[in-house]
Amino acid sequence: MDKAPPHVLIFPFPAQGHINSMLRLANMLCLAGIQVTFLNTDHTHHRLLRSNPDLLAARPGIRFRTISDDLQPDHPRSTALVMDLYDSLRSVTKPLLRAMLAGSGRRAESDDAVTCIVADGILSFAIDVANEVGIPIVAFRTASACSFWAFFCGPALEAGGEFPFEDDADMDHPIKSIPGMEAFLRHRDLPSFFRVKQLNDRLLQAVLSETQNASKASGFILNTFEDLEGPILSHIRAHFPTTYAIGPLHAHLKYRLTESVDSLPNSSLWTEDRTCMTWLDSQPNKSVLYVSFGSFTVITRDELLEFWHGLVNSHTRFLWVIRPDLVDGRGDEGQIPSELREAADERGCFVGWAPQEDVLAHSAIGGFLTHSGWNSTLESVCAGVPMICWPFFVDQQINSRYVGEVWKVGLDMKDRCDRRTVEMMIKELMEGKREELVRSTARIANLAKRSVSQGGSSYMNFEKLAEDIRSMSQRFIRLM
Ligand code: UDP
C-alpha cells in the first residue's frame, strides 16, 4: 500500500483561541475535499457540545474524536494552573496519541488512515509521536508571527544581555536583539513570559522549547498574512522554509464558503448570549465600545472597578463581556457602587459571552477595548474596528505594540489601568484620534481581504498547503 486518500488529524491545544483557529482550518481543508478528524480533549469536547449542540452536524466532512487530558473534570484548567494541563498532556495524552495513531497506521488499507497531522505548535510532543509512527506532521502556531519570532530569539536576547532584566529595569528601554524589531520594541513589549527573573522559569522554558521544536515538523502554519507581517515572516522563513501564512483564517474561511455564513459551526466554549445583538440594533452608528478580554484573562476586583469608572466617566455606550471567571476570586456584584451600576445600565449592556465576530461586524460598534489576543486582533482589524489594547499575557504584549506603533490601528494601554487613563483612551479612540485610526484600520482590512481572495497571498499559500497534504498521502507508506 503506497497510496491513501488524504486524511488530516487536527489536534489543537485545548483553549478557545486555539480551537477557533484550528476549527476554521479544519473547515477549509474539508472544503478542499480533504477528510478531517478533529481531536479534542474529552473535557473540551464536552464543553463545546454543551454550548453548541449542533456542532457535530455543522459540517459532516469533519469527524470529532476525543482524547483524555487526565485532569479531574472539575479542574479549572485556568491561566494560573495552565502548567498542570500542559504537563498532563505531555505525560498522559502523548502515549494515548501514540496508541491512537499506531491504530490508524494498521488501518492504512482503509479510508481511515491518517496521512498527515496538523498539531498545535505548542504541543510538540505530537511532532515526536508523528515522527515515531511515520506520519507527516505540520505545526500550527495560532499566535502572531511577531510573538513567535520574539520567542525564537529568546537565546539571542540572553546572549545580548537583554534578558533577564532587573526589577528596577527601565521597561521603556529599547530591545536590540530581535532582528526586524529594533526600531520600536521595548522591554515592556516582550511577550509576558519574559517578565521573569530567571531564565529557567518553567513556563518560559516550555514556550522557548516548543518554539525551537516546531522545526522538527515538515511544515509550519501561521494565522497571519504577508501584507501584515511580511518582514517578520521573512526572518521566520530563514529557519522554517516551509511556512504557510494563511490568515486571517476567519475571513479566509468565509471567503471560501459558498453557503450562507450562518452555516459556520460555532466553536465557543461558553454559551453565546445573542441578546446583545438586539441591544446593538437600537444604538446609533459607531457609537458603542465593545469590551472583551477573551477567554483566559483574569482581572482583579480593583481593575474591574477602574475600568467601570473609566467607562462610565467617558460617557460612551458600551457592550461588556464579563465571563463568569473573568474576575479573580469571582465578581461580587455588590461591590460595584450603585451610581456606577445605574450609569452603566443606562448606556451599557453586559453579557457573559458574546458572538464576537457578529458584534464586531455590527454597524453600532465604533471601537474595541481588547486584551490583544491574536484572534481578537485579527477579527477587529478585518471588521475595520480600531482598538484600545490592554494586554494580559503571552503574545498580547507584543501584539499591542504592533497595533499601536507599527500598524497604527489602535492605542496601546499596556501596564496602565486607572480610571483616568481608561477614560482618556476611550475619548481618544471614539473621538480625538478616531479619523486617523479608522483610516489605517480600513487600509489593513482591505489588505486582509485581498490576501484571502482568489489569487491573494493567503489564498495561494493555502492552496499550496492543501496540495502538499495531498502529495503527502500519495507517498504515504505504512511503517507499522
Ligand atoms: N470570543 C467570543 N466571544 C467572546 C469573547 C471572545 O466569541 O465573548 C472569541 C473571539 O472571537 C476569539 C476568541 O474567542 O476568536 C478569543 O481568542 P483570542 O486569541 O482573541 O484570545 P484568548 O481567548 O486566546 O486569550
Q: Please write the tens of the pLDDT for every residue from 348-395.
A: 999 999 999 999 999 999 999 999 999 999 999 999 999 999 999 999
Residues with Cβ within 8 Å of 31's Cβ and at least 6 positions away in sequence, in order, are: 256, 257
Name the domain count of the chain.
Answer: 2
- The verdict on 66 and 98 lying in the same domain is yes
- The verdict on 46 and 78 lying in the same domain is yes
In a domain, 356, yes or no: yes
- The verdict on 131 and 228 lying in the same domain is yes
Look up residue 94 and give its three cell numbers.
502523548
Query: What percent of the chain has a predicted confidence (pLDDT) above 70?
Result: 94
Cα–Cα separations (whole angstroms), residue 88 to 68, 72, 75, 204, 398: 9, 11, 12, 17, 28
Q: Choose which residue among 375, 389, 399 to substitute to test ligand 1 binding: the one with the highest number of ligand atoms within 8 A of its C-beta.
A: 375
Helix (H, G, I), strand (E, B) or coil at 111: coil
Q: 391 is in which domain, residue-wise?
A: 275-432
Ligand 1 pocket, 296 CB below 6 A?
yes
Ligand 1 pocket, 379 CB below 6 A?
yes
DSSP at 299: B
- The verdict on 472 and 400 lying in the same domain is no
- Cis bond before residue 355 (omega within 30° of 0): no
In a domain, 414, yes or no: yes
**Residue, of 200 and 120, whose pLDDT is higher:** 120
Q: Looking at this protein, which amino acid is placed at residue 34?
A: I
Is the confidence at residue 6, as pLDDT, over 70?
A: yes
- The verdict on 428 and 464 lying in the same domain is no
Q: Choose which residue among 356, 369, 370, 380 to substitute to test ligand 1 binding: the one with the highest number of ligand atoms within 8 A of its C-beta.
A: 356
Ligand 1 pocket, 373 CB below 6 A?
yes
- The verdict on 340 and 418 lying in the same domain is yes
Question: From the CB of residue 37, how many other CB atoms can be counted at a distance below 10 Å?
Answer: 19
Residue 140 CA, chain-centre distance (Å), reads 11
Sign for the CA dihedral angle at 266, 298, 373, 203 comes to negative
Rounded to the nearest angstrom, the distance between the alpha carbon of 200 and the centre of ligand 1 is 30
User: What is the C-alpha to C-alpha distance for residues 93 and 428, in angstroms, rounded to an integer?
Assistant: 48
| Average pLDDT for 30-53 | 93
Is the confidence at residue 267, as pLDDT, over 50?
A: yes
Q: Choose which residue among 295, 382, 392 to substitute to test ligand 1 binding: the one with the highest number of ligand atoms within 8 A of its C-beta.
A: 295
For atom 15 of ligand 1, the residue with the nearest CA is 375
- Cis bond before residue 248 (omega within 30° of 0): yes
18 is catalytic: yes
In a domain, 160, yes or no: no
In a domain, 294, yes or no: yes
In a domain, 204, yes or no: no
In a domain, 163, yes or no: no
42 is catalytic: no
Res 478: pLDDT: 45
Q: Are 21 and 249 in contact (CB under 8 A)?
A: yes
Lookup result for grid cell 486607572: 418
CATH of the domain at 68: 3.40.50.2000
In a domain, 347, yes or no: yes
Within 13 Å, how many C-alpha atoms sit on residue 317's CB side?
A: 17
Res 110: pLDDT: 57
Look up residue 208 and give its three cell numbers.
522557548
- DSSP states of 233-247: HHHHHTT-SSEEE--
Rounded to the nearest angstrom, the distance between the alpha carbon of 174 and the centre of ligand 1 is 30
Residue 277's pLDDT band (cuts 50, 70, 90): very high
**pTM reported for the whole predicted model:** 0.95
For atom 11 of ligand 1, the residue with the nearest CA is 356
User: Per DSSP, what are the bridge partners of residue 170?
Assistant: none
Is the confidence at residue 107, as pLDDT, over 60?
A: no
- The verdict on 353 and 466 lying in the same domain is no
In a domain, 446, yes or no: no
Residues with Cβ within 8 Å of 430's Cβ and at least 6 positions away in sequence, in order, are: 289, 314, 316, 366, 367
Ligand 1 pocket, 400 CB below 6 A?
no
Residue 464's pLDDT band (cuts 50, 70, 90): very high
Q: Looking at this protein, which amino acid is placed at residue 341?
A: R
Residues with Cβ within 8 Å of 311's Cβ and at least 6 positions away in sequence, in order, are: 289, 291, 318, 320, 344, 348, 422, 423, 426
For atom 18 of ligand 1, the residue with the nearest CA is 373
- The verdict on 367 and 458 lying in the same domain is no
- The verdict on 223 and 305 lying in the same domain is no
Catalytic residue from among 120, 189, 395, 412: 120
Ligand 1 pocket, 374 CB below 6 A?
yes
User: What is the C-alpha to C-alpha distance for residues 347 and 357, in angstroms, rounded to an integer?
Assistant: 22
User: What is the C-alpha to C-alpha distance for residues 108 and 346, in angstroms, rounded to an integer?
Assistant: 62
- The verdict on 352 and 232 lying in the same domain is no
- The verdict on 57 and 97 lying in the same domain is yes
**Residue, of 78 and 480, whose pLDDT is higher:** 78
Residues with Cβ within 8 Å of 190's Cβ and at least 6 positions away in sequence, in order, are: 150, 157, 163, 175, 397, 398
- The verdict on 63 and 126 lying in the same domain is yes
In 278-422, beta strands by DSSP E: 288-292, 317-321, 348-351, 365-370, 387-389, 410-412
Is the confidence at residue 424, as pLDDT, over 80?
A: yes
Look up residue 364 and give its three cell numbers.
453600532
